Amino acid sequence: MVLMVWVLASSYFLWTLSQNTTYNDAIRQKNELESEHLSENVNVYDTQYSVGSGGLVNVTAQLQNAGPLAIQFITFWICVSNATWTNYNFTSLSNANVQAGAFFQFNSTVIVPGVNATLTYNFASWLMTAKGNAVALQKTTLTSNIIVSQTTQGIGALMMDFQNFTSYNVTGNNPPYFLNPYPNGGSGYSLYGATGQHAQVAFRLILTNLDANQMDITLYSSSVFFSVFPWSGPQPRGSYWYIVNVDGTGKIAQNYTPVVLKYNVAMTVYFASAQAISGSQQFQPIGSQFSGTAPVNLALIGTLGSSPFGQNIPFVSIYINS
Phi, psi (degrees; rounded to nearest 5) at 306: -110, 5
> How far is C-alpha 165 from the geometric centre of its chain's CA atoms?
17
- Residue-by-residue pLDDT tens, the chain, 322 positions: 777 767 666 776 667 767 777 766 666 766 565 555 567 888 888 888 888 878 889 898 888 888 888 899 999 999 998 888 899 999 999 889 999 888 888 999 999 998 887 788 899 999 999 888 889 987 665 544 444 444 444 467 888 888 788 999 999 878 999 999 888 888 888 887 777 667 889 999 988 888 877 889 999 999 999 888 776 566 667 788 999 999 989 999 999 999 999 987 888 999 999 999 999 999 999 888 777 888 888 999 999 999 999 998 877 888 887 6
Q: Residues 224, 299: contact at Cβ < 8 Å?
A: yes
Q: Residues 70, 64: contact at Cβ < 8 Å?
A: no
Predicted TM-score (pTM) of this structure: 0.55
d(CA 101, CA 42): 9
Closest CA to 216 of 123, 309, 88: 309
Strands 186-187 and 146-147: unpaired
pLDDT tens digit sequence for 242-270: 999 999 899 999 999 999 999 878 889 99
The residues with which 106 forms a beta bridge, in sequence order, are 61
Q: Residues 245, 220: contact at Cβ < 8 Å?
A: no
Q: Which fold has domain 42-150?
A: Immunoglobulin-like (2.60.40)
CATH architecture of 154-321: Distorted Sandwich (2.70)
**Cα-atom radius of gyration of the chain, to the nearest Å?**
30
d(CA 59, CA 50): 7
What residue ranges of the chain are covered by domains with CATH 2.60.40.10? 42-150
Q: Residues 258, 267: contact at Cβ < 8 Å?
A: no
Closest CA to 159 of 222, 100, 83, 227: 83
What residue ranges of the chain are covered by domains with CATH 2.70.50? 154-321
